[in-house]
């Protein structure tokens, strides 16, 4: 089956992912993914921080099946019960006053840019520039590529969408130097995921919040990867004790069903008036049923508490390995269940491959850092399986 799929992929699919890992999955259960040949893998990447509830979560699947039997899509010309209820859930669970639904994290970030720009436009203020950080990742659209602080993503698409610039993370002086009278917003990931799980300093984040307030600049927090419990809080900005003017989320909000959200304070959100923004599929009955089911599971199963507790256990055990292999493991970073394990560059690829061969799914960021983002309902026994595989890889494959 795998070889047939690979042949079809090579013949018909645009080659944006290169040579993929040689496995295809037929079904999953909890942390486990089952390959077509019967091999069992453990999903420590969670579909890249998407599968917050793991695979085939019974109540989640039941909610989707019930919705599929009733209604998939109507369009936003009409009121949608699930859409209204999920907006209520997001607002009552966060610092936001309003929410808007779309289809992905990139689209949510696009919506945040548009909201920031139109906010000042409607005030008659000529502000349109958006500052983001080096090593950030905000999406694959033209505007989000311009906001992404990684030149290799930007190079093929120049000239980039104007008005975007990047500065060094965790450097407050760089913020003050970069801001102009045209700066509309500053966008940050409080924990940069794709570049290798790099958290911002708490003092930096709080200074940034105060600086934006003092200078009439909107603070946008990209919570696409860190949102919906990933860090042990519903949103990462709660860890930092700050409230953004706008924040975005996606990924885990749908547990695999495509959905994104732009969430904002009332003063900012009111800049979007009828006709200013829109979507065909965003917030349809199916995707918002998924979002509601995710919220229900997080609340009923105490998944925020579990993510916090298991994250601490995971990092403690990884730091134990770091003590045992100080020349191989250089750093362990992260919060909750978003963890980066930085390795000596010469061995990182071999470790990644060794983990995959031992049926542990992760990703390799920047060729240096193993990223893990498992389901929020992970157990300590499953963490121990990973630690055992990691140790065996360091002992036997390096």
Half-sphere exposure of 269 (CA within 13 A, CB side): 19
Q: Taking the C-alpha atoms of 136, 355, 315 and 44 in order, what is their torsion angle to the nearest 10 degrees?
A: 70
222 is catalytic: yes
Q: How far apart are CA 104 and CA 249, in angstroms?
A: 8
Q: How many Å from the N-terminal Cα to the C-terminal Cα in the chain?
A: 32
Q: What is d(CA 243, CA 265) in angstroms, rounded to the nearest whole number?
A: 9
Q: Are 192 and 152 in contact (CB under 8 A)?
A: no
Token pair for 236: 């990462």
Token couple for 381? 């026994």
CA 272/CA 140 separation, integer angstroms: 24
Rounded distance between C-alpha atoms, residue 229 and residue 337, angstroms: 9
Q: 20 φ, ψ to 5°?
A: -80, 170
Q: What is the DSSP letter of 149?
A: B
218-222 and 329-335 strand pairing: unpaired
Structure tokens at 129: 């520039």
**Which is the catalytic residue, given 117, 164, 222, 233?**
222
Q: Is 59 a catalytic residue?
A: no
Is 251 an annotated catalytic residue? Answer: yes
CA-CA distance, 253 to 137, in Å (whole number)?
Answer: 18
Nearest to 97 by CA among 352, 267, 305, 339: 267
**Residues sharing a CB contact under 8 Å with residue 390, sequence separation 6 or more, in sequence order:** 318, 321, 341, 351, 355, 360
CA–CA separation, 45 and 42 (whole Å): 9
Which of the residues 137, 247, 272, 314 is marked catalytic? 137
Q: Annotated catalytic residue: which of 117, 127, 233, 251?
A: 251
Chain mean position to CA 225: 1
Return d(Cα 368, Cα 341) in angstroms, integer.
Answer: 8
- Retrieve residue 12's tokens: 């018909």
Residues annotated as catalytic (active site), given as ranges: 137, 222, 251
């Amino acid at each position: 089956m795998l070889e047939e799929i690979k042949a079809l992929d090579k013949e018909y699919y645009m080659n944006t992912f290169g040579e993929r890992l040689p496995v295809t999955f037929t079904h999953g259960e909890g942390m486990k993914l089952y390959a077509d040949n019967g091999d069992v893998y453990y999903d420590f990447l969670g579909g890249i921080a998407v599968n917050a509830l793991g695979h085939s979560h019974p109540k989640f699947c039941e909610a989707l099946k019930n919705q599929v039997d009733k209604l998939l899509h109507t369009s936003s010309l009409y009121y949608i019960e699930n859409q209204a209820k999920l907006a209520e859930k997001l607002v009552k669970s966060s610092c936001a006053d309003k929410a808007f639904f779309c289809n992905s994290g990139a689209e949510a970030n696009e919506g945040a840019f548009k909201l920031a720009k139109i906010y000042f436009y409607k005030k008659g203020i000529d502000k349109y520039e958006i500052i983001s950080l080096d090593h950030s990742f905000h999406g694959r659209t033209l505007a989000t590529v311009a906001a992404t602080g990684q030149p290799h993503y930007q190079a093929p698409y120049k000239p980039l969408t104007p008005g975007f610039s990047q500065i060094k993370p965790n450097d407050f002086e760089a913020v003050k130097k970069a801001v102009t009278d045209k700066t509309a917003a500053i966008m940050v990931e409080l924990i940069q995921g794709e570049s290798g799980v790099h958290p911002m300093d708490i003092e930096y984040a709080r200074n940034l919040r105060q600086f934006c307030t003092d200078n009439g600049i909107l603070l946008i927090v990209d919570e696409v990867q860190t949102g919906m419990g990933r860090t042990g809080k519903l949103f990462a900005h709660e860890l930092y004790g700050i409230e953004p003017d706008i924040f975005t989320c996606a990924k885990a909000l749908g547990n695999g069903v495509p959905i994104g959200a732009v969430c904002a304070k009332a003063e900012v959100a009111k800049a979007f008036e009828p006709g200013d923004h829109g979507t065909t599929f965003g917030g349809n009955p199916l995707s918002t049923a998924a979002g509601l089911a995710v919220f229900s599971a997080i609340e009923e199963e105490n998944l925020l508490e579990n993510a916090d507790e298991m994250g601490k256990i995971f990092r403690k055990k990884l730091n134990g390995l770091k003590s045992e292999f100080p020349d191989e493991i250089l750093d362990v970073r992260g919060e909750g269940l978003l963890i980066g394990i930085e390795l000596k560059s010469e061995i990182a690829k071999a470790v990644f491959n060794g983990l995959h061969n031992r049926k542990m799914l992760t990703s390799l960021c920047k060729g240096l850092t193993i990223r893990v983002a498992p389901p929020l309902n992970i157990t300590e026994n499953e963490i121990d399986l990973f630690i055992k595989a990691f140790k065996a890889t360091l002992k036997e494959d390096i």
